[in-house]
Amino acid sequence: MPKHELILLKNMMQPGYTGSLADYEKTGGYQALRMSLGKIAPTDVTTMVRKSGLRGRGGAGFPTGVKWGFLPKEYQGPRYLCCNADESEPGTFKDRQLMERDPHQVLEGIVLACYAIGAETGYIYIRGEMVLASKILERAIDEARAAGYIGKNILGTGVNADVWVHRGAGAYICGEETALLESLEGKRGLPRIKPPFPATHGLYNKPTVVNNVETLANLPHIINRGPEWFAAIGSPPKSTGTRVFCVSGHVKRPGNYEVPMGMTVRELVYEYAGGMRSDKPLKAIIPGGASAPFLTPAHLDVKLDFEHVAAAGSMLGSGGVTVMEEGTSMVWAALRLMEFFYHESCGKCSPCREGSSWLVQTLRRILAKRGRMEDLETLLDLCKNIAGRTVCAFGDAEVAPIQSTLKHWRQEYVELINEAEAANLIRPEPVRH
* DSSP per-residue codes, 201-224: S-GGGS-EEEEEHHHHHTHHHHHH
Contact flags string 98-117 toward another protein, x per CB under 8 A: --xx----------------
With respect to another protein, which residue has the nearer C-beta, 52 or 104?
104
Among 79, 104, 127, 243, interactor with another protein by CB under 8 A: 127
With respect to another protein, which residue has the nearer C-beta, 22 or 131?
131
| 280 binds another protein per the rule CB under 8 A | no
- Least CB distance from residue 101 to another protein, whole Å? 5
With respect to another protein, which residue has the nearer C-beta, 19 or 109?
19
Among 44, 142, 164, 327, interactor with another protein by CB under 8 A: 164
List phi, psi (to 5°) of 167: -85, 130
Map the chain to HEC letters: CCCCCCCCCCHHHCCCCCCCHHHHHHCCCCHHHHHHCCCCCHHHHHHHHHHHCCECCCCCCCEHHHHHHCCCCCCCCCCEEEEEECCCCCCCCHHHHHHHHCHHHHHHHHHHHHHHHCCCEEEEEECCCCHHHHHHHHHHHHHHHHCCCCEEEECCCCEEEEEEEEECCCCHHHHCHHHHHHHHCCCCCCCCCCCCCCCCCCHHHCCEEEEEHHHHHCHHHHHHHCHHHHHCCEECCCEECEEEEEEEECECCCEEEEEECCCEHHHHHHHHCCCECCCCCEEEEECCCCCCCCECHHHCCCECCHHHHHHCCCCCCCCEEEEEECCCCHHHHHHHHHHHHHHHCCCCCHHHHHHHHHHHHHHHHHHCCCCCCHHHHHHHHHHHHHCCCCCCCHHHHHHHHHHHHHHHHHHHHHHHHHHHHHCCCCCCCCCCC
With respect to another protein, which residue has the nearer C-beta, 130 or 392?
130
- Least CB distance from residue 66 to another protein, whole Å? 28
Q: Within the chain, what is the greatest distance between any pair of CA atoms?
A: 79
| 91 binds another protein per the rule CB under 8 A | yes
| 259 binds another protein per the rule CB under 8 A | yes
- Least CB distance from residue 9 to another protein, whole Å? 9
Among 152, 194, 225, 253, interactor with another protein by CB under 8 A: 253
| 247 binds another protein per the rule CB under 8 A | yes
- Least CB distance from residue 274 to another protein, whole Å? 9
The residue type found at 383 is C
| 292 binds another protein per the rule CB under 8 A | no
Among 38, 42, 78, 351, interactor with another protein by CB under 8 A: 78
| 177 binds another protein per the rule CB under 8 A | no
Kindly indicate which of the ranges 51-59, 89-97, 232-240, 379-387 contains the residues binding another protein, using the contact rule CB under 8 A.
Answer: 89-97
- Least CB distance from residue 50 to another protein, whole Å? 30
- Least CB distance from residue 173 to another protein, whole Å? 9
With respect to another protein, which residue has the nearer C-beta, 30 or 340?
340
- Least CB distance from residue 364 to another protein, whole Å? 14
Among 30, 68, 149, 172, interactor with another protein by CB under 8 A: 172
Distance of CA 224 to the CA centre of its chain: 25
- Least CB distance from residue 299 to another protein, whole Å? 19
- Least CB distance from residue 281 to another protein, whole Å? 15
With respect to another protein, which residue has the nearer C-beta, 78 or 236?
78
- Report the distance separating Cα 51 and Cα 37, nearest Å: 19
Kindly indicate which of the ranges 91-99, 109-117, 144-152, 388-396 contains the residues binding another protein, using the contact rule CB under 8 A.
Answer: 91-99
Among 37, 111, 285, 337, interactor with another protein by CB under 8 A: 337
Q: What is the Cα gyration radius of the chain?
A: 23
Window 342-381: residues binding another protein (CB under 8 A): 343-344, 346
| 269 binds another protein per the rule CB under 8 A | no
| 156 binds another protein per the rule CB under 8 A | no
| 402 binds another protein per the rule CB under 8 A | no
With respect to another protein, which residue has the nearer C-beta, 52 or 267?
267
Bridge partners of 215, per DSSP, are: none
Contact 338, 402 (CB under 8 A): yes
